């Protein structure tokens, strides 16, 4: 499903003077290869690729209009032109027009980790009671969020939208587009430090979602780190802190954490999810706290959460012969590494453990120290075989103990071969790195080499 527009609506959304055009646009595309008949093409201007170079291709594919940089000489094409100073901002303005045109209540989710998982959990829980639409995948950037809104179901009563940020001010820009009624901040940690400088910078950025969202809406935050809850309560007195500790407003009466499931109980209602690890329990508490704040009955929330399954390779358990692979190849920072290590420690006691790890990206000046810290933690946690790629190769070289358990791998193929050639019965393999390192290739290679099982 995609938003449709008349010419006058586009011009009003972009702040352009009224024109004489009367075309109907059946959708919006930013990639000329994805244009369909009747689409509006947005010519985004990137550092390496200029969308304005693809106007003729967009027209051949069926585009009947385009948002283009002001001052550009237009080619002789049967298209309607919408010249603007900044095509990226125009994309956001178009999405904001759609958000205001609809009647859905918007829940915005951000955080250094867990936001995609919490977004999916909330959508499932809300869907038990009311029609709900959620951001597909992780379209959470200045490009992705507008595209998500332009594809949103106008009939849904709730939109659950994910907001990401890698530099100061991006959450403010995304909030201005999405105009969320209610907000969740999952956690704050050492992520995207190239842009933010330090964790305090990350905290300020994420909390801007609470500052800028509608004052009458609900706000839920995680209990970790403690600074998040303290700062959030200073912004909004009614913020709900969800977690396991005694200072949390929304916490379980009792809970259990296993390798393949977590559960908790509140006021006699049991919530059980088919996914393991304390981090997933914390994500479920955040989701339940918000959805119940929105008026959904706890038993309906429990039914929705029971339907959750890990997305992609975000902590998924995959069987490959006698191996159990913990595939966590999407997000990596020191906090998410700690969660993955704790999961392996607590969920598989007594079983041999190994790891294939590669770089945590965008950590700026703290990168070397962060990699050394995680390297030491992996050794202390008793991982018996570690295959290090990327920045972890140098990090392990600077550790004092346990280096006999570490092999620096020159390639993904070398890491796959190293793991596969020395498997112990029942071995658990953690595969983790930032998305840009593409360590899903290790998972795919191990499954192919060792035999596919269930996941």
Average confidence (pLDDT) over 402-429: 90
- pLDDT, residue 452, reads 58
Q: Give domain 314-450's CATH number out of 3.90.190.20, 3.10.450.30, 3.80.30.20, 1.10.3720.10.
A: 3.90.190.20
Q: Are 426 and 352 in contact, with CB atoms under 8 Å apart?
A: yes
Q: Domain 102-306, CATH 3.40.1190.10 — does that match?
A: yes
Longest dimension (CA), the chain: 74
Return d(Cα 385, Cα 323) in angstroms, integer.
14
Return d(Cα 75, Cα 69) in angstroms, integer.
13
The residue to which tokens 């802190």 are assigned? 241
Judged on CB neighbours under 10 Å (0-12, 13-18, 19+), 399 is middle
- pLDDT, residue 455, reads 43
pLDDT, mean over the chain = 93
- pLDDT, residue 19, reads 83
Return d(Cα 439, Cα 387) in angstroms, integer.
12
Q: What is the side-by-side order of every strand in the sheet holding 65-69? A: 27-29, 39-42, 65-69, 80-84
Q: Where are the domains of the chain?
A: 5-88, 102-306, 314-450
- pLDDT, residue 427, reads 94
Return d(Cα 387, Cα 353) in angstroms, integer.
12
Average confidence (pLDDT) over 199-223: 94
pLDDT band at 454 (very low <50, low <70, confident <90, very high): very low
**Nearest 5°: CA angle at 120, between 119 and 125?**
100
Return d(Cα 47, Cα 182) in angstroms, integer.
34
Per mean pLDDT, which range of 149-153, 284-288, 450-454 is the poorest? Answer: 450-454
Task: Enter the pTM of the model.
Answer: 0.85
pLDDT band at 398 (very low <50, low <70, confident <90, very high): confident
Return d(Cα 269, Cα 301) in angstroms, integer.
10
The residue to which tokens 């639409």 are assigned? 133
- pLDDT, residue 314, reads 76
pLDDT digits (tens, 9 = 90+) for 121-176: 999 999 999 999 999 988 999 999 999 999 999 999 999 999 999 889 999 999 99
pLDDT digits (tens, 9 = 90+) for 251-265: 999 999 998 899 999
Going by their DSSP bridges, the two strands 262-266 and 269-273 should be labelled as: antiparallel
pLDDT band at 2 (very low <50, low <70, confident <90, very high): confident
**Percentage of the residues of the chain whose pLDDT score is greater than 70:** 97
Taking alpha carbons only, the member of 276, 267, 220 closest to residue 248 is 220
Q: In the CATH hierarchy, which fold is given to the domain comprising 5-88?
A: 3.40.1390
CA distances (Å), origin 17, targets 9, 43, 177, 353 = 11, 20, 21, 64
Q: What is the 3-state secondary structure (H, E, C) of 76-107?
A: CCCCEEEEECCHHHHHHHHHHHHHHHCCCEEE
- 274: tokens are 């088919």
Average confidence (pLDDT) over 236-264: 95
The string of DSSP codes covering 363-380 is: -GGGHHHHHHHHHHHHHH
CA distances (Å), origin 325, targets 3, 357, 411, 429 = 41, 13, 19, 5
Residue 313 confidence (pLDDT) above 80: no
| β-strand partners of 240 | 220
């Amino acid at each position: 499903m995609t938003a449709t527009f008349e010419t006058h609506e586009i011009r009003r959304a972009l702040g352009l003077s009224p024109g004489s055009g009367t075309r109907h646009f059946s959708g919006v595309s930013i990639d000329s290869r994805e244009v369909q008949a009747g689409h509006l093409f947005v010519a985004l201007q990137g550092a390496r690729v200029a969308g304005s170079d693809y106007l003729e291709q967009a027209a051949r594919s069926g585009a009947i209009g385009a948002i283009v940089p002001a001052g550009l000489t237009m080619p002789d094409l049967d298209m309607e032109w919408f010249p603007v100073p900044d095509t990226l901002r125009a994309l956001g303005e178009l999405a904001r027009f759609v958000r205001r045109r609809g009647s859905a209540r918007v829940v915005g989710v951000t955080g250094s980790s867990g936001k995609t998982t919490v977004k999916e959990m909330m959508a499932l829980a809300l869907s038990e009671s009311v029609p709900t639409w959620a951001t597909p995948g992780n379209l959470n950037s200045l490009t992705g969020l507008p595209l998500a809104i332009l594809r949103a179901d106008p009939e849904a009563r709730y939109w659950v939208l994910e907001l990401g940020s890698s530099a100061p001010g991006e959450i403010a820009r995304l909030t201005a587009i999405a105009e969320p009624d209610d907000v969740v901040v999952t956690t704050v940690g050492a992520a995207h430090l190239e842009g933010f400088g330090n964790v305090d910078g990350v905290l300020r950025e994420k909390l801007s979602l609470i500052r800028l969202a509608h004052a009458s809406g609900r706000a839920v935050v995680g209990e970790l780190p403690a600074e998040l809850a303290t700062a959030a309560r200073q912004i909004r007195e009614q913020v709900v802190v969800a977690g396991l500790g005694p200072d949390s407003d929304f916490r379980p009466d009792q809970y259990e954490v296993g390798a393949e499931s977590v559960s908790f109980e509140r006021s006699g209602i049991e919530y059980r999810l088919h996914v393991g690890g304390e981090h997933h329990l914390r994500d479920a508490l955040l989701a339940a706290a918000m959805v119940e704040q929105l008026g959904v009955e706890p038993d309906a929330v429990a039914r929705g959460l029971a339907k959750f399954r890990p997305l992609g390779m975000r902590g998924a358990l995959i069987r490959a012969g006698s191996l159990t692979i913990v595939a966590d190849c999407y997000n990596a920072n020191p906090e998410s590494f700690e969660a993955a290590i704790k999961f392996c420690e607590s969920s598989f006691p007594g079983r041999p453990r190994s790891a294939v790890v590669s770089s945590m990206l965008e950590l700026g000046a703290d990168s070397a120290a962060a990699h050394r810290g995680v390297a030491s933690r992996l050794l202390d946690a008793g991982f018996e075989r570690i295959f290090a790629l990327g920045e972890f190769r140098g990090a392990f070289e600077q550790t004092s103990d346990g280096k006999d358990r570490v092999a620096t791998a020159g390639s993904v193929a070398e890491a796959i071969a190293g793991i596969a050639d020395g498997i112990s019965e029942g071995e658990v393999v953690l595969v983790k790195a930032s998305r840009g390192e593409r360590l899903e290739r290790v998972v795919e290679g191990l499954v192919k080499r060792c035999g596919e099982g269930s996941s």
